[in-house]
Amino acid sequence: MLDRDGVINRDRPQSVRSVAEFELLPGVAQAISLLNKAHIPIAVITNQAVVGRGDISLEELDRIHQKMQFLLAEQQAHIDEIYFCTDVAVEPNFRRKPAPGMLKEALKKFRARAKYSPFIGDALRDLQAAVDADCPRILVRTGKGLQTEQQEWPSRLNPVHIFPDLLSAVQALTETLDTLQEPFYTLDQPFVR
């Protein structure tokens, strides 16, 4: 499971508001292609309050996601499912990160076991959602990742595996696939905070 802004695409100060603003980060298509070739389903889990605030329409969000899939397809990669929450952060919501709702929906859809299904994000709310869904946590240093890494966070979020970007995280996860039967998820200790 992957966060979108800052993990897959270049993050914007006011969020991605148009198709023209959507730009894949370097190495992302290769990372997703590696997961595709390993037959690992990929779900994007993203808060999109930009819709809830009325900054963009649901149709524009759909066009942005179509562009994401198009750019990935150009490099023989694809996302299997996209989960998004358009609610604004005014009231607690079971789906909006840091709540685990969207992660749990993806786990159910793919019949995946949480403890073997890492969530890769760049923000504290991603780590919080992952721990509350019982998923392993991976932080990438793209997007807000460097700032997040420097923050103090509750010890309950640990361990967090930290990588420079999505490609390096996926390479670490997929390197051991040939030797594994179950679980898929395994990382070496040097990456743990």
CA distance 79 to 44: 7
* pLDDT at 41 > cutoff 50: yes
Q: Which residue among the candidates 3, 11, 122, 165 is catalytic per the annotation?
A: 3
Our measurement of the distance from residue 62's CA atom to the centroid of its chain's CA atoms, rounded to an integer in Å, reads 18
DSSP states along 120-159: EESSHHHHHHHHHTT--EEEESTTTHHHHHHS---GGG--
Domain contains 116: yes
Confidence (pLDDT) at 88:
86
Q: Give residue 81's domain range.
A: 19-191
**What contacts 125, CB < 8 A, 6 or more positions away?**
47, 97, 98
DSSP 6: T
Q: Is 132 a catalytic residue?
A: no
pLDDT, tens only, 72-128: 999 999 999 999 999 987 676 899 999 999 999 999 999 999 999 999 999 999 999
Q: What is the CATH number of the domain that holds 148?
A: 3.40.50.1000
In this prediction, residues 20-44 reach a mean pLDDT of: 97
Domain count, the chain: 1
The widest CA-to-CA distance across the chain, in whole angstroms, is: 49
Tens of pLDDT along 112-158? Answer: 999 999 999 999 999 999 999 999 999 999 999 999 999 998 999 99
> Does residue 7 fall inside a structural domain?
no
33 three-class SS: helix
Q: Is residue 79 part of a domain?
A: yes
pLDDT at 10: 97
6 in a structural domain: no
In a domain, 179, yes or no: yes
The model's pTM is 0.91
Annotated catalytic, 3? yes
